Amino acid sequence: MTLDEPTRAFLERATATPPLPPGSLPLKEFRAAVESLRPSTFDRIELAEVRDLTCPGPGATTVSARFYRPEAGTSAPLVVWAHGGQWVRTTVDLLDTFFRHVAHRSGCAVLAVDYEHAPESRFPAQIEQIYAAALWAQEQNGQLDCDTGRLAIAGDSSGANLAAAVALLARERGRLQFQHQLLLVPLLDTLFDSASWRELGQDYLLSVEQLTWALRNYAPGVDRRHPLLSPLHAEDLSALPPTTIIVGEFDPLRDDGLAYARRLEADGVAVKTIDVESLLHHAMVIPKALPQGRVAVEAAADALANCW
């Protein structure tokens, strides 16, 4: 494997200074640090409609979300998206241009769920919040005016972990019907022991130590093989929606994504796998700094455009 030159140069700069130990920053500062990514995200695309809304959540609670409609006067498919951020940080607002880009290129409306962060809320609260938002979207399309007969669940990184869990929960409960599942650089096994973790888990921007710290905030004391925490360990993956999985050549999560694809296929689920060359884990949210991130996001958008 060989990194392309822009990615190699970025990685060299990024690793020139040793990272702070996980948890050494106060959580407020750790969350604020991601704001530095804004200049490297996608350019802003104007869409027919972008608005914040509140969805009914689990029980008597509510869930915040942002709705993106690419074109007026069309009943577009709807994608419910769970963003990444190690369960503890990142917001829909930070990723606003990312979601605009996905909606514009795919032609799908996007409902980006601003689920609550850990540790203020913990497993499985975030899964239930995303499930509730998706169920609300499916059962009343008058407010969104989308074709909820074409409904997908999607996510990136730890958001893909949540999305995969929501798909499993939807299958179990039988009320929520997804026609597609899209998992972008997904975190699917919290054991962190695959070959790609051993190969790439120290010098490629994502470490076992960092995710172990995040996991302690999100799901303390939970069995790491719990299927809603590590979907790769679910006993049965049959009857899940057709799935697209996008992995990165230089992402420690790569092999878990590929293993999930093999398990889905073995259980009779239609799967398309895309392996993006020279892709680092965080690249999809900073495409101006890492051009392969744009390749990955556009592959995701194209998959959504063509999955119906």
Round to whole Å and give the CA distance between 145 and 163: 23
Fold held by 47-303: Rossmann fold (3.40.50)
| Residues contacting residue 118 through CB under 8 Å, at least 6 positions apart | 87, 88, 126, 214, 217, 218, 219
* Residues facing residue 78 across a β-bridge: 109, 151
Omega within 30 of 0 (cis) for the link into 26: no
* Whole-prediction pTM: 0.98
Q: Which of 153, 156, 106, 187 is nearest to 285 (CA)?
A: 156
How, if at all, do strands 147-156 and 62-69 pair? unpaired
Whether residue 175 contacts residue 135, with contact meaning beta carbons closer than 8 Å, is answered with yes
DSSP summary character for residue 239: T
Residues involved in catalysis = 157
Whether the upstream peptide bond of residue 18 has omega within 30° of 0, thus cis, is: no
How far is 208 from 152, CA to CA, in rounded Å?
Answer: 30
Domain spans of the chain?
47-303
Type of residue numbered 149: G
Q: Which of 261, 287, 285, 289 is nearest to 275 (CA)?
A: 261
- SS3 at position 298: helix
Contact 80, 134 (CB under 8 A): yes
- List per-residue pLDDT tens for the chain, 308 residues long: 899 999 999 999 999 988 889 999 999 999 999 999 999 999 999 999 999 999 999 999 999 999 999 999 889 999 999 999 999 999 999 999 999 999 999 999 999 999 999 999 999 999 999 999 999 999 976 789 999 999 999 999 999 999 999 999 999 999 999 999 999 999 999 999 999 999 999 889 999 999 999 999 999 999 999 999 999 999 999 999 999 999 999 999 999 999 999 999 999 999 999 999 999 999 999 999 999 999 999 999 999 999 99
- Which tokens hold the place of 55? 């969805």
Residue-wise DSSP of 78-130: EEEEE--STTTS--TTTTHHHHHHHHHHH--EEEEEEPPPTTTS-TTHHHHHH
